[in-house]
Amino acid sequence: MAKRNGSGPATAESMASKQRDISVSEFFLKNRHLLGFDSPRRALLTAVKEAVDNSLDACEEGGILPEIAVELEQTAETRFRVTITDNGPGIVKNQIPKIFAKLLYGSKFHRLRMSRGQQGIGISAAGMYGQLTTGAATRILSRIKGAHTAHSMAVQIDTRQNKPAILSDTEQDWLPMFQPVNAEGQPEGEPVVSRHGTSVSIEMEAAYQRGRQSVDEFVKQCAIVNPHLSLHYRMTLLTKAESGKQKAEKGAAEVSTSAITPPPSTISVSYIRAIKLMPKIPDEILPHPHGVELGMLMQMLKDTESRTVRSALSSDFSRVSAQTALDICERAGIEPKTNPTRIAHQQSEALYKAIQGTKLMRPPTDCLSPIGEAQILAGLQKELKADFFTAVTREPAVYRGNPFQIEIGLAYARPQENEGLGNEEPVRVMRFANRVPLLYQGGACAMTKAVVGVNWKSYGLAQPKDALPLGPVVMLVHMASVWVPFTSESKDAIAGYGEIIDELTLGLQECGRRLSVFLHKRHHELEAARKRSYIEMYIPHLALGLKDILKLSDKEEDKVVTDLKRMLEKTHLDV
């Protein structure tokens, strides 16, 4: 067996000869668990999530009510083809290879504006994972507004260089078409045809499994927090015979011999939009001075197009007026007309301290687009049978200079009509960041921590120590921000900044108080009903007694019963 190993201790020179660049694709390929591709099941969800995020962002930026089709098709025992099609504005041809086969490429990283995607990694990483596990290319079909044909491309990522390789590139006819289905999976209503859109298809090693962390759950939760979205979901598993054939091909011994082929196991469901109103397109904002660190300030002063420090301060930052800029310069002992580049090198620290010591308005919040209380209620009511619903949208707040906004929805469900909910079960927490469902790593998330941290006993729910409260309750927790601080690149859990935990807690407590009023009232009503039924049970006996004593006729007895009942109904039964 050959080894590449040298012999003897290394010297500075021999070590230098081994140093080399590591491409960002190689890095993430080896560390793909950082991106959410650590197991076949999770990989399937992550790929769908990244593609749907991109589609929703593109539709909303393009001002188009989103229509998205998610298709999962099992192609071998451990393989799926994942196809996401949208009616978005489409992608111009020369951008397709980079967007789908280059990590760290995108439009959302360098701006401060709320969106689902942030880093320019997700969809390329999904393609790279597919390539690693199946050798297959990412296939894209895209038609832009006004174009006669669609581009069809197959791309792969050259991981050594983090560059796209184009395997095929043709023009073809295409119209994105979406066929709604009913609850039985049968076509229902007219198909929706769009003049533009994008479809991406990736084949990858994957596993499908139902449950709380499944694609089924993801698309359902997507529909809840995006009431303006129509989403058509179809999942097809191989039949046992097909799967057996695949196994036989793989060299395994087991072959299905059943003569009758059962139909393929499928799921087919359409979530039709509840409202035809687009969410407000959030504004892009400039960085707030109090969220900018010294090194970043220096970089901004070097990069500015302004000719003076004063104008750089007022035009590159939010909440700095010309007068405030003057005040800051004065406080820092800097001539306001100095060239910003010079300041970057010599007096940046004085300027930094002056900025930190200046009172400023909090950052603007037009950059956020919360779901809204009414929409949250509508979303929950569509999906859950419950007796009580409430929702709170908090005022925007700020962490590290980044505006954010917390929303909470709460439903007290009927356990018998909702699977997995019960008086003895922990409440269910549905987490969302910028309208994207978060299904993994709940335990590490600030949202879960905030729920655990609230004293739910005072609102009428049982709660074991340091744990989620118990009861047939569903909580929806949403954070909207220009920059969501995820604890890892797989974007599953939110980091526990103090300001974020505080806002979450206040929102949860507000919902808790309302729940408490409901539970209290319901308790009274149940008690009253119990007493009433108790008395009602005795009315006939009472009437019979009266009949005997007063020698009433049968008719008079009936009247007594009726009168007593009426009396009972009129009486306010205080418990």
Applying CB under 8 A, does 281 fall inside the site for a second copy? Answer: yes
In terms of DSSP bridges, do strands 197-205 and 266-271 run parallel, antiparallel, or are they unpaired? unpaired
Q: Which of 111, 202, 207 is nearest to 157 (CA)?
A: 202
Q: What angle do CA 515, 517, 519 make, to 5 degrees?
A: 65
Q: What is the DSSP letter of 457?
A: G
Applying CB under 8 A, does 242 fall inside the site for a second copy? Answer: no
List the one residue from 8, 262, 263, 498 that touches a second copy (CB under 8 A).
8
In the complex, the smallest distance separating the C-beta of residue 510 from a second copy, rounded to whole angstroms, is 29
- Window 113-142: residues binding a second copy (CB under 8 A): 113, 119-120, 131-135
Q: Closer to a second copy at the Cβ: 26 or 327?
A: 26
Q: What angle do CA 449, 455, 457 make, to 5 degrees?
A: 130
Q: Closer to a second copy at the Cβ: 188 or 284?
A: 284
CA gyration radius for the chain? 31
Applying CB under 8 A, does 2 fall inside the site for a second copy? Answer: yes
Q: How many CB atoms lie within 10 A of CB 47?
A: 28
Applying CB under 8 A, does 95 fall inside the site for a second copy? Answer: yes
The answer to whether the beta carbons of residues 186 and 179 sit under 8 Å apart is no
Four-point Cα dihedral 85, 90, 94, 100, nearest 10 = -30
- Window 33-52: residues binding a second copy (CB under 8 A): 33-34, 38
In the complex, the smallest distance separating the C-beta of residue 180 from a second copy, rounded to whole angstroms, is 25
Cα–Cα dist 451/409, whole Å: 12
| Structure tokens belonging to residue 525 | 């009503």
Q: Closer to a second copy at the Cβ: 24 or 519?
A: 24
Contacts with a second copy by CB under 8 A: the residue count is 91
The answer to whether the beta carbons of residues 85 and 119 sit under 8 Å apart is no
In the complex, the smallest distance separating the C-beta of residue 337 from a second copy, rounded to whole angstroms, is 19
Cα–Cα dist 55/57, whole Å: 6
- Window 287-316: residues binding a second copy (CB under 8 A): 293-296, 298-299, 314-315
Measured CA distances, 454 to 354, 389, 421, 433, 476 (Å): 39, 19, 20, 21, 15
Q: Closer to a second copy at the Cβ: 26 or 335?
A: 26
Applying CB under 8 A, does 465 fall inside the site for a second copy? Answer: no
In the complex, the smallest distance separating the C-beta of residue 495 from a second copy, rounded to whole angstroms, is 6
Applying CB under 8 A, does 207 fall inside the site for a second copy? Answer: no
Cα–Cα dist 392/157, whole Å: 44
Q: What sign for the dihedral angle of Cα 514, 517, 520, 525?
A: negative
Q: Which stretch binds a second copy (CB under 8 A): 278-286, 372-380, 424-432, 468-476?
A: 278-286
- Window 376-435: residues binding a second copy (CB under 8 A): none
- Window 327-386: residues binding a second copy (CB under 8 A): 331, 348-349, 353, 357, 364
Cα–Cα dist 345/343, whole Å: 5
- Window 469-498: residues binding a second copy (CB under 8 A): 483, 485, 487-489, 495
Q: Closer to a second copy at the Cβ: 262 or 498?
A: 498
- Window 149-168: residues binding a second copy (CB under 8 A): 159
Q: Which of 422, 418, 420 is nearest to 380 (CA)?
A: 418
Applying CB under 8 A, does 1 fall inside the site for a second copy? Answer: yes
In the complex, the smallest distance separating the C-beta of residue 141 from a second copy, rounded to whole angstroms, is 14
